[in-house]
Structure 1
Amino acid sequence: MDVLGYGLAIAIGLLLSLLGGGGSILTVPVLVYVFHLPPTLATAYSLLIVGAASLVGSVDYLRRGLASPKTALFFSFPSFAMVFLSRKYLVPMMPEVLFRGDGWELTKNLFMMILFALLMVLSAQSMIRGRKEKIDTGEGIRRQLNYPLIFVEGLLVGTLTGFVGVGGGFLIIPVLANFVRLPMKLAVGTSLLIIAINSCIGFLGDLGQHRMDWEFLGRFTSLVLVGVVFGTGLSRRVPGHTLKPAFGWFTLVMGTGILIKELLIS
């Protein structure tokens, strides 16, 4: 099973650099279902793994002018503050058993996985049914951006991503593409910048909360970065208008699979 898990690590990096998200969508299930880590620890590991991969992947997009640092900063400032506060205070305050009924209980871990999957399904629908892709990727679009709206959206996304403990590309990409209305490839590059900032800050909030296996993290992250290199090269050949529905369907399948696993199979 370890061989399968490490192979999937390469796929995580490829998807993250190609789609600007999806890294956490695979990372958390791989760590939970393949390496059998508790969801709370898996989400903490995911923040570091996805954050490092996003940082490396964003470099090429910046070189090609397919990332908006100003948008990333406006989005990230409120977002990483909420990520840090959520991971530092909200998640540790939650009781291990949230609800106990007749022969059934809703644990903290189960609740986090269900919420994670539901957010994936909702964000997938917005991408599949999203608006028509823009062609212009230049400064004209950047000048039209509503930065106060981006700030508010950063607050909301930061709270949600901090709570479920993921980089948040599966939420950030729909916001940038459908509400901020960035073209898909510009949204991908900007998302990678935001994920890198959010994930690293969120991971700082987890330090001291868990015992970290740094050797395992190093191996897994190194393989993810190999995937990032391949995905970055592939992104130059794939047209932007095909990425949006592909991201949506991938997210929908993964979210539905987690719901089935947690609610029907477990």
Structure 2
Amino acid sequence: MIVLTLSAAALIGVTLGLFGGGGSILAVPVLVYLAGVPARQAIAMSLLVVAVTSAVSAIGHARAGRIRWRTGLVFGAAGMAGAYVGGLIGPHLPEALLMAAFAAMMLATAIAMIRGRRTPRVAPARDELPVLHVVAEGVAVGAVTGLVGAGGGFLVVPALVLLGGLPMGVAVGTSLLVIAMKSLAGLAGYLHSVPIDWSLALPVTAAAVVGGLAGGSLAGRIDGQRARAAFGWFVLAMGVFVLVQQVRA
């Protein structure tokens, strides 16, 4: 089962590197249903996996100049605050509620991926960020990340386009920086009360990082829209599966 778990972790990394988000939504189901990890520990491990993989995947985007540091750091700092609070609250909620909320997040992510990214009309480059709006959005998205352990890239990218005025390609790269920051803060919140099995967490994280590097190298070589839609249908099926499991429990 460990081989299957590590293979799935590599797939999570590939999708993060390829799409700038999406794959992290599978980390919790993989850990719960393949590795047999309790839900709270799975969410904490997921935050570790997502933080490290996103940070590594962001390196290639940074080298290509596809990260807007000022916008990303402002959004990421706000997201860290929300994620840390979410990480403190999450361990005290019923596991069934956490998994149901996670299933809802999976369904929302799947629908967003299937529909595809419809790029909003970007405003002209701004000298000043709408800081209050960016902070409010960052805190809200971060809280979701901290609670359920998903990066929320499908929420971050549109927010960066609309609020930060970023082109789509730059928003994808910047989202990885934001996701890494808030996932790390969410993990810090969880670690106050949830132990992590490092003997499992570290190999899973390493497999996801390798997958992330592979995904980054594939970007631009395949039809990203079709691949994103196909993966979205897979996430949709997994979300329905998780929801059914919670109804049966």
TM-score range, shorter chain: 0.7 to 0.9
The number of residues matched between the two structures is 249
CA distance in 2, matches of 1:31, 1:166: 13
Determine helix, strand or coil for the equivalent of 1:210: coil
- 167, 174, 196: which one pairs with 1:190? 174
- Between 1:51-60 and 1:217-226, the stretch displaced more is 217-226
Q: Which amino acid is the alignment partner of residue 153 of structure 2?
A: G
Deviation for aligned residue 1:186? 2.2
Q: Indicate whether 1:165 and 2:164 are aligned.
A: no
- Bigger Cα Rg: 1
Matches within 5 A, 1:118-157: 118-129=104-115, 132-133=118-119, 140-141=124-125, 146-157=130-141
Deviation for aligned residue 1:21? 1.2
State the Cα RMSD in Å: 2.9
Q: Indicate whether 1:262 and 2:246 are aligned.
A: yes
Deviation for aligned residue 1:151? 1.8
- Between 1:180-189 and 1:149-158, the stretch displaced more is 180-189
CA distance in 1, matches of 2:110, 2:82: 23
CA distance in 2, matches of 1:212, 1:46: 10
Deviation for aligned residue 1:135? 10
CA distance in 2, matches of 1:145, 1:38: 41
CA distance in 2, matches of 1:174, 1:110: 30
Q: Indicate whether 1:57 and 2:62 are aligned.
A: no
Q: In 1, are the aligned partners of 2:124 and 2:165 still within 8 Å (CA)?
A: no
Q: In 2, are the aligned partners of 1:184 and 1:240 still within 8 Å (CA)?
A: no
Deviation for aligned residue 1:52? 0.5
CA distance in 1, matches of 2:56, 2:64: 14
Q: Identify if the C-alpha distance between structure 1 residues 237 and 131 changes in structure 2 by more than 3 Å, giving closer, same or farther.
A: closer
- Between 1:113-122 and 1:45-54, the stretch displaced more is 113-122
Q: Identify if the C-alpha distance between structure 1 residues 260 and 92 changes in structure 2 by more than 3 Å, giving closer, same or farther.
A: closer
**Structure 1 residues not aligned, in runs of 5+:** 95-107
Q: Which amino acid is the alignment partner of residue 119 of structure 1?
A: M
- Between 1:21-30 and 1:244-253, the stretch displaced more is 244-253
Q: In 2, are the aligned partners of 1:87 and 1:205 still within 8 Å (CA)?
A: yes
Q: In 1, are the aligned partners of 2:47 and 2:149 still within 8 Å (CA)?
A: yes
- 80, 95, 109: which one pairs with 2:95? 109
CA distance in 2, matches of 1:124, 1:178: 21
TM-score by length of 1: 0.81
Q: Which amino acid is the alignment partner of residue 168 of structure 1?
A: G
Q: For residues 78-132 of structure 1, what are the alpha-carbon distances to aligned partners after superposition, in whole Å with 9 as ceiling and x for unaligned?
A: 21111112212x22443xxxxxxxxxxxxx1111111112123234434544664
CA distance in 2, matches of 1:130, 1:142: 26
CA distance in 1, matches of 2:42, 2:18: 23
Deviation for aligned residue 1:9? 1.2
Partner of 2:20: 20
